[in-house]
C-alpha cells in the first residue's frame, strides 16, 4: 500500500504566515505538520492561515495537532485559522465541535500563494512515492478530487445519501436502491484501475466511479469479454471505461457537475470512450445520461444478470494523450 505524503508550503507576510498543505494528514505526516506549526510560532508569527484546499483527508491525530497548535498560539496572543477544508475535514470539525475554534470565517479569504516567497517542506513517510495533487479547484467553488480505495470506503455512506437525494421523488427512484449502489461501489473498488472522483463545496455534491476495460484486462471472458465484443462492434473501440455510477446533486446550480466528473474520469483513465449500463425501465436515468451527452445504443444481449441492460456511450470531448490512444 502506498504511503501517504504531505507537502508543506509556507509563505511569510510580515507577522502573518500562509501555510498551504498538499496531500493527506495521517500517522506518517502529522509529526512533520506539528514541527512546521511549531516553527511558525517560534518565528514570531501572530496569524497562521492554513490552506486545506489540496488536502484530501485528515484523521483525529491531525485534528489534535491543529487544536494543540491553536492553544499554544493563544497563549502567545497569536491565532491559527483553517481555510477551505474538504467535506471529510468539515465533518470532522463539526462532529468534534472544533469548527468554531479553528475554522476561519468565509469572509476571511486566504491570500494567494506566490512563487518565490515560499518556504517549502516536502514531507512523507520514508520511501513513500511522490505523487502530484489530484484535486482541481473550479471557478464556481466546486472542487474535484480523486479518492483512494480507503477514502472511498470512508465516504460510502455519504455517496449513498447523495445518490438517494438525487433521485428522491423521481420516476427512476425504484431503479436506484441504496443497497445496489453500495454493492456496485464495493465490487468496483476491487477492479484493476478502479477510480472514484467526488465533487465538493463544503459538502459532497457529485461523484462518479468506474474502471477500464480493454485488451489485457481481467475478465476477457464472461461479462467483460461479452461487453468488450459488443462495444467493438458498435464503436470499433476495444478499450473503454465502464462508469458504474454517476451522481450529481439535483440543484440547478450543480447541473454541470456530472459532465465535469465524467470527462475527468475518462481523462484520468486515459480513455476516449465511456460506457454505462442502465436498467431498461430506468427512463429517468436514461434521460439524465442523455442530458449529459450520452448516446443510447439499445440493449446488450448476452450479459449475465436478471435483466438485459441498455448500453449508453459517452465520447471524450478533450484530445486524448498519446498514452491513451
The DSSP element (H or E) to which 16 belongs, if any, is strand 16-25
In angstroms and rounded to an integer, the radius of gyration of the C-alpha atoms of the chain is: 22
Nearest to 290, CA basis, from 261, 254, 314: 314
What is the signed CA dihedral for 134, 56, 160, 244, rounded to 10 degrees? Answer: 20
Q: pTM of the prediction?
A: 0.56
* 265 neighbors 197 (Cβ within 8 angstroms): yes
130 three-state secondary structure: coil
Q: Which residues pair with 22 in a beta bridge?
A: 7, 54
**What pLDDT tens digit does each residue of the chain (325 aa) get?**
445 688 898 888 778 899 999 889 998 899 999 999 999 988 888 899 999 988 989 999 999 999 999 999 988 888 999 999 999 999 999 999 999 999 987 544 444 443 333 444 444 333 344 334 444 444 456 778 888 777 777 788 888 888 888 777 766 666 777 888 888 888 888 888 899 998 887 678 889 999 998 876 554 455 667 788 888 888 888 889 999 888 887 766 566 888 889 999 999 999 999 999 988 888 888 888 898 899 999 888 877 777 888 899 999 886 544 444 4
Which DSSP letter does residue 103 get? Answer: B
Sheet strands (E) in 106-203: 119-124, 135-137, 143-147, 195-200
Nearest to 152 by CA among 88, 96, 59, 95: 88
* pLDDT at residue number 192: 87
Bridge partner residues of 122 (DSSP):
7
Which DSSP helix (H) or strand (E) runs through 292?
none
d(CA 20, CA 10): 6
Backbone dihedral angles phi then psi of residue 191, each to the nearest 5 degrees: -80, 140
Cα–Cα distance for residue pair 288/293, rounded to 1 Å: 9
d(C-alpha 50, C-alpha 104), whole Å: 9
Q: Nearest Cα to 56, choosing from 24, 9, 89, 103?
A: 24
pLDDT at res. 216: 63
Q: What is the pLDDT of residue 106?
A: 59
Q: Are 314 and 293 in contact (CB under 8 A)?
A: yes
pLDDT of residue 294: 93
Tell me how long the chain is: 325
* Pairing between β-strand 79-83 and β-strand 143-147 as defined by DSSP bridges: unpaired
Residue 81's φ and ψ, nearest 5 degrees, are -130, 135
Amino acid at each position: 500500500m502506498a504511503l501517504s505524503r504531505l507537502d508543506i508550503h509556507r509563505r511569510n507576510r510580515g507577522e502573518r504566515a500562509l501555510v498551504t498543505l498538499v496531500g493527506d494528514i495521517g500517522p506518517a505526516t502529522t509529526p512533520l505538520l506539528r514541527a512546521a506549526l511549531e516553527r511558525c510560532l517560534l518565528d514570531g508569527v501572530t496569524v497562521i492561515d492554513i490552506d486545506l484546499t489540496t488536502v484530501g483527508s485528515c484523521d483525529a491525530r491531525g485534528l489534535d495537532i491543529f487544536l494543540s497548535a491553536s492553544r499554544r498560539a493563544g497563549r502567545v496572543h497569536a491565532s491559527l485559522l483553517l481555510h477551505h477544508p474538504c467535506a471529510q475535514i468539515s465533518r470532522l470539525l463539526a462532529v468534534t465541535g472544533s469548527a468554531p475554534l479553528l475554522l476561519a470565517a468565509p469572509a476571511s479569504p486566504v491570500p494567494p500563494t506566490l512563487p518565490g516567497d515560499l518556504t517549502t517542506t516536502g514531507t512523507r513517510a520514508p520511501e513513500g512515492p511522490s505523487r502530484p495533487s489530484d484535486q482541481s479547484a473550479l471557478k464556481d467553488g466546486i472542487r474535484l478530487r480523486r479518492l483512494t480505495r480507503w477514502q472511498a470506503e470512508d465516504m460510502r455512506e455519504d455517496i449513498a445519501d447523495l445518490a438517494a437525494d438525487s433521485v428522491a421523488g423521481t420516476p427512476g427512484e425504484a431503479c436506484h436502491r441504496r443497497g445496489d449502489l453500495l454493492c456496485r461501489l464495493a465490487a468496483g473498488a476491487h477492479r484493476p484501475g478502479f477510480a472514484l472522483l467526488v465533487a465538493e463545496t463544503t459538502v459532497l455534491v457529485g461523484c462518479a466511479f468506474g474502471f477500464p476495460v480493454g485488451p489485457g484486462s481481467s475478465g476477457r471472458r464472461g461479462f467483460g469479454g461479452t461487453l468488450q465484443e459488443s462495444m467493438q462492434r458498435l464503436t470499433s473501440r476495444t478499450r473503454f471505461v465502464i462508469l458504474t455510477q454517476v451522481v450529481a446533486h439535483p440543484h440547478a446550480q450543480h447541473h454541470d457537475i456530472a459532465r465535469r466528473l465524467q470527462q475527468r474520469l475518462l481523462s484520468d483513465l486515459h480513455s476516449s470512450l465511456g460506457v454505462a449500463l442502465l436498467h431498461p425501465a430506468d427512463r429517468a436515468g436514461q434521460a439524465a445520461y442523455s442530458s449529459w451527452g450520452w448516446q443510447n445504443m439499445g440493449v446488450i444481449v448476452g450479459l449475465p444478470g436478471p435483466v438485459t441492460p441498455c448500453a449508453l456511450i459517452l465520447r471524450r470531448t478533450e484530445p486524448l494523450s498519446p498514452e491513451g490512444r
